Chain A
Amino acid sequence: MPGRPHPLLTYLLASFVAALTFSTIARAQAAPQQAASKSASSPAPKRDLSGVWQYQGTGGADSMTPDKDMPPMTPWAKARFDSEKPGYGPRGAPGGNDPILQCDPIGFPRIMFMPTPNELVQLHDRVLQFWEREHEWRPIWTDGRQLPTDADPTWFGYAIGHWEGDDTFVVQSAGFNDKTWLGPTGFPHSEEMRVTERYHRIDHDTIVYDMTVTDPMAYTKPIVAPQRIMKLKPHEEIEEQPCVWSLENEFAKRIREPAAHNPAK
C-alpha cells in the first residue's frame, strides 16, 4: 500500500520498540493515572462514546498484561502455551507460529492492544466498534438481549453492553473460538473465555479502560489487565488496513524467512 508502511513491518518495528521498553513496563503502568489527572479537558457528553479513539500504550503491539502478572495456567493451557512460538517476549524466537503471521484473524481481545485507532459508533440498539487494524469490527448489542448460551465460536465473539451511570459503558463478551492468542507473547485461551470491559469516559477526550478475562479452563484466576488510557482523535478517520495473505506471503519469502534462517550472530 503506497504511502503507508507495510502492516507487518509496522507490527514488527512497533513490537521491537515494545520489547525494548519491556523492562520499564512498571513505569508504563503508572502512566495512565498521570495522564488522567493531568488532563483538563471539557466534560464528557453523557452516555456517548462516539468517535475515533487511540489507545495510548507503549506504541507497539502490547500484551494484555505483563507476563509476570499472568495467573497460573491450567495443565490444558500450559500444554498449549508450550506449543506456541511467539515472536516477542521472553520466549521470542525465529520461525514462530503466531497465527497473525499468516493473516489469520488477530481476534478479540488481542486487537484492543494494538497501536492502531478504533472507532465507536452508537446506534439505538448497539454500539459498533471498528478497528483500523485488519479492518475489523464488532457489534456490541445494547438492546437488552443476553449473551447467547451456545453461540457459534467466533474470532471476535458476541458482545453486549450497558451503561453504568452516565459515563461508564460496560461490555461483556463470550462465544470466542480458541484459536487466538491473548497477545504477542503467546498465552492461549479456551472457548469458555469471557471478557468484561469498562469504558469509563472521564472527560471529553479520555476513556479509562479496564479489562478482565475470565477463563477457568485456562487460568486459575481471572486475568486483570492494567488500566489503560484511550484518547479521542477528533480529526482522524479509520483507514482500510486489511491483512493480505499474498502480500504477507511475499514479505515472508523475501524478508522474514531468510532472516530467520540466517540469524545475525
Chain B
Amino acid sequence: MFITDECGSSSTGFIACGKTLIFVIPRRVAHRGISLVLRLDQREIPHFVRNDKIEYFFRSLFSLWVLVLARTNPHRLKSKIPTRSGPAPLNKKSQRDLMRRYGRAMLLAFSFAALPIPAQQQGNPKAAPSPAPKRDLSGVWHYEGTGGSEPIAPDNLIPPMTPWAQAKYDEEKPGYGRKRAPGGNDPILQCDPMGFPRVMFMYTLFEFVQVPGRVVQFFERDHEYRSIWTDGRSLPKDADPTWYGYAIGHWEGDDTFVVESAGFNDKTWLGSTGYPHSEDMRVTERYRRVDRNTILYDITVTDPKAYAQPIVGPRRIMKLRTKDELLEEICVPSEEKSFADRVAEPATPKPTK
C-alpha cells in the first residue's frame, strides 16, 4: 500500500495521478484478485470494461473515488454494470450494487493493508509444512512481496552507478519511487516486454515445469516464459541480446537450484522505479526450497558497465499455489493505448505553468 501525490503506474500499466491511495490485494486473497485505488481529488468518473478486467471509478462513502480492478468474467458483469465507455456518473443504485459486490473485498483489503506481514511469518505458516521433494521445483509459485510491482532492491541498496548508467537513469521517468513523474517513459506502458529480472518482482504467478534437459519458467505476467537449460551446456559467449536472456541452471545439494543468466539487451529496467542495466548484465539466482510450500529466493545482478558493485536483492519468499493455474495475461498494445487515451492521459494533472 502506498500513497502518491503525483503519478504511479500499476503493474497493469495503469497510471494513477492526483492524491491517490493505492493498494493491491494479493490476487488469491480476494477471489481472483482485486486491486483498489482510492482517489481523493478527482472529479471524473470514467468506467469501462477492458478485456477481462472491470475498471471502475465510483464515488464511495466518505466521498472517495475508488477504482476497482477486478478480474472476473465479463459476461457475468455486463448484466450488472453499464459497459458503455467514457465518463458517466453513477446513480445511487449502481453505487449500492457496487458496494454490495465489492464491499467485502474492500473491507478485506483495508484490514489486509493495515496489517503488514513480516516476511518471516509468511514463510512459516502455523502447521508444520511437509519436507520439500528433492531437486524439484515443479508447480505454481507466488511471490507475494508488498502486493505490488517492486524494484529489485530499495533505492538505498542500489550501488553507485557508472557515468554511462547515470546518463541512462537520468532519462528514465518512472511511475514509482523518488523520480516518479507524470508522463513517464516506462517501456511497459506501451507493452514493450517487461524483461528479466523485472518480471520476477511482480505479484502475479509463475510456474516451474521440469523436463529432461531444462526447467521452463512461465510468468503469468505478459504470458512470458524462459528456458533454464540443465543439460550441462555453458552460457553462450555471444548470444543475441534478448529480453529474457539465456539461462542455465544446476542443483546445489537437493534443495537449491542455481540459475545463471546473461545475453540480455539493455532495453529493460530493473524495476518499477527505473534503474538501467547494460548488455553485460549477468544474473545469479538461488531458488532454495526450504519446505514443500516455500522457496527462499536470492538474486544478484552483476553489471560492471552500469554499477560499481553487484546489486544484491533482499531475500524474498515464494509460496506454492497448489490449486492455481496460470491465466493468459497478455499486454495488448491496442488496449493499453485505448486506456491511455481515454483515462490515463486525461487524468494526468496539467502542468500549472
**Which residues in A have some Cβ–Cβ distance to B below 8 Å?**
1-4, 99, 102-105, 121, 123, 128, 130, 135-137, 139, 150, 152-156, 237-240, 242, 244-246, 249
Contacts and interface: CB of A to CB of B under 8 A. Distances in A.
A99 to B, nearest CB: 7
Contacts of A102: 333-334, 337
B216 interface: yes
Interface in B332-353: 332-334, 337
Nearest to A123: B209
Contacts of B90: none
A105 B242 CA distance: 19
Interface in B205-245: 209, 211, 216, 218, 223-225, 227, 240-244
Contact of A121 (B74, B216, B332): B216
B40 to A, nearest CB: 32
Contacts of A153: 52, 74
Interface of B: 52, 73-75, 187, 190-193, 209, 211, 216, 218, 223-225, 227, 240-244, 325, 327-328, 330, 332-334, 337
Nearest to A2: B240
Given A135-B224, A240-B244, A152 B52 contact: yes
A242 B216 CA distance: 17
Contacts of B187: 246
Contact of A103 (B52, B242, B333): B333
B243 A240 contact: yes
Contact of B73 (A104, A105, A150, A240): A150
Contacts of B243: 240, 242, 244
Contacts of A139: 325
A128 B216 contact: yes
Contacts of A237: 227
A155 B328 contact: yes
Nearest to B326: A139
B33 to A, nearest CB: 13
A155 B333 CA distance: 13
Given A104-B333, A245-B190, A2 B216 contact: no
Contacts of A245: 190-192, 333
Given A245-B192, A246-B192, A152 B333 contact: no
Nearest to A175: B328
Given A152-B73, A155-B328, A245-B190, A240 B242 contact: yes
Contacts of B333: 102-104, 245
A103 B193 CA distance: 11
Contacts of B193: 242, 244
A99 B240 contact: no
A137 B240 contact: no
Nearest to A242: B193
A137 B192 CA distance: 18
A103 B73 CA distance: 25
Pick from B191, B209, B211, B325 the residue with the most CB of A within 10 Å.
B191
11 contacts: A1-B240, A102-B333, A105-B330, A121-B209, A137-B225, A152-B74, A152-B327, A153-B74, A240-B243, A242-B243, A245-B190
A137 B218 contact: yes
Nearest to B212: A50
Contacts of A128: 209, 216
Closest 9 A/B residue pairs (Cβ):
A154-B328, A240-B242, A245-B333, A152-B52, A103-B333, A245-B191, A3-B240, A102-B333, A104-B334
B66 to A, nearest CB: 24
Nearest to B138: A123
A155 B244 CA distance: 22
Nearest to A126: B209
A150 B334 CA distance: 25
A239 B226 CA distance: 10
A93 B240 CA distance: 35
A139 to B, nearest CB: 8
A2 B241 contact: yes
Contacts of A239: 240, 242
Contacts of B328: 154-156
A4 B240 contact: yes
Contacts of B337: 102
Contacts of A246: 187, 190, 192
Contacts of A99: 334
A150 B75 contact: yes
B69 to A, nearest CB: 15
Contacts of B241: 1-2
Contacts of B332: 104-105, 155
Contacts of B75: 150
Contacts of A3: 240
A136 B240 contact: no
A250 to B, nearest CB: 11
A107 to B, nearest CB: 10
Contacts of B227: 237-238
A213 to B, nearest CB: 20
A249 B191 CA distance: 12
Contacts of B334: 99, 102, 104
Contacts of B209: 121, 123, 128
Contacts of B52: 152-153
A180 B244 CA distance: 26
Nearest to A150: B73
Nearest to B218: A137
A10 B327 CA distance: 30
A103 B240 CA distance: 21
B324 to A, nearest CB: 13
Contacts of A240: 242-244
Contacts of B240: 1-4, 239
